[in-house]
Amino acid sequence: MSLASNIVKRPVLGLVIFALIAIVALFLVFGIPIDMFPEINPPYLVVVTYYRGAGPETVEKSVTRILESQLVNISGLQEITSTSSEGGSMIVMEFKFGTNIDAKANDTRDRIDRIKARLPDGVDTPIIMQIDPNSQPILRIAVQGNRPVNELQDIATNVIIDRLEQVDGVASTSVIGGVEQQVRVEISQNRLEAYGLSITGVAGLLANQNLELGAGSIVDGSKNYSIRTTGEYNSIQDIAETVIARRGASTGSSADIRLMDIGEVNIGYPKETSSAFINGENGIFVAVTKQSGTNSVAVADNVYAKLDEISALLPRDVSLEIIQDNTTQIRDMINELVSSALMGAALAMGILFLFLRSVKSTIIIGISIPFSILVTLLLMKLTGLTLNMLTLAGLILGIGMIVDCSIVILENIFKYRE
């Protein structure tokens, strides 16, 4: 006996089953992730290596060619492209669609580990990145106030981003604009030559003294004490008083040569290589990126609520303003598609009633449309699909197919009864 026959002979059971499906769907559909486009995993890996101070030819010879010789043999690799520029190398690897990119990233990491010893000193550890279109920021927040840009950057770094990263669904935040403070050591060349010192020697000595290391342990009866050396600098004065050389030890009247004797130490800012502008003026803004697979609209709403709490902690002359919200377009798209779907369903029911002249038949088709959409949304939730431009457009097209199928079935019912 067919499924349709069983449902016709047991109408109460069929009604209960459909009602339960509709209730479960209504309970779960509100948790479907909403995004502009569906999630895709492009089959690309990017290996970025920084070699600061090196020219393009040196980077190509010492870094790029060595990495390429190992990466070119990875299975499934279709194309490899490299770019060597001043201070860094970038290698883009393209694989076949359907390739497990996570597995290829692990394979790439293993191959790079084998040749690390062949890379020159001063080269940073190569960074392996996957291209993710959904990793673009969904919100950009301007930090404004009657203060220098560097002070606004300190506020954004120390107050704002730590609290935004606590928001559910936020993957990362970044501060764009301004420059961070740094310790500047300005050394006189004449004094270096007078004391017989070199820049590299002074830099190496400062690096070696700015360390905090474990020094073992001391056992005192039943107690075990861990020992560490507190060698890190705590202030500018500590750096300035660092002993960098000793003269006259052989004559018995030694004298310490300190860093302050050959130069000056102060807090400064590096030279700006990039700037962020808000309404034509230098500014600071914070970019917020959501976690993959989360609801973009819900994450944005959570960030909006968190910004109200953060604003209360900021100084009175500092304010936060949303200058870019990518979820606005998503909200408009969702509202437009939902209104189109409702209008299409209403017009379909009206036209059916005009031609069928039957309230019962019109109500049956009117029930089948939202029920079919609920079942589809339930299956999307269970399979991990997102509610995006493509899936919503498919739902709207599906409404027309539902109406067509419903008319065919009603016509068969009338014909069978006759």
Higher local confidence (pLDDT), 309 or 1: 309
For the chain, where do the domains classified as CATH 3.30.70.1320 start and end? 138-181+272-325
H-run or E-run covering 203: helix 199-209
pLDDT score for 100: 83
**Model pLDDT for residues 241-284, shown as the tens digit of each residue:** 888 777 765 555 667 788 888 888 887 776 666 667 777 667 78
Query: What is the mean predicted confidence (pLDDT) over 221-225?
Result: 78
pLDDT over 90, % of the chain: 0
Q: How is domain 182-266 classified at the CATH fold level? A: 3.30.2090
- What mean pLDDT value characterizes the chain? 80
Distance CA 326, CA 330 (A): 7
pLDDT score for 214: 65
Residues 6 or more apart in contact with residue 322 via CB below 8 angstroms: 139, 140, 141, 142, 304, 307
CATH superfamily label, 44-131: Multidrug efflux transporter AcrB pore domain (3.30.70.1430)
pLDDT score for 253: 60
pLDDT score for 252: 57
pLDDT over 70, % of the chain: 92
Which residue type does 301 have? D
Cα 148 to Cα 143, 274, 281, 315, 316, distances in angstroms:
11, 16, 12, 14, 15
For the chain, where do the domains classified as CATH 3.30.2090.10 start and end? 182-266
The CATH code of the domain at 138-181+272-325 is: 3.30.70.1320
Query: What is the mean predicted confidence (pLDDT) over 327-346?
Result: 78
For the chain, where do the domains classified as CATH 1.20.1640.10 start and end? 3-37+330-417
Global pTM exceeds 0.75: no
- Reported residue count of the chain is 418
pLDDT score for 250: 55
DSSP percent split of the chain into helix, strand, coil, nearest 5: 50, 25, 25
Query: What is the mean predicted confidence (pLDDT) over 229-244?
Result: 77
Distance CA 390, CA 37 (A): 7
Q: How is domain 3-37+330-417 classified at the CATH fold level? A: Multidrug efflux transporter AcrB transmembrane fold (1.20.1640)
Residues 6 or more apart in contact with residue 286 via CB below 8 angstroms: 140, 141, 143, 156, 160, 161, 164, 173, 174, 175, 176
Among 31-45, 151-165, 368-382, the range scoring the smallest mean pLDDT is 31-45
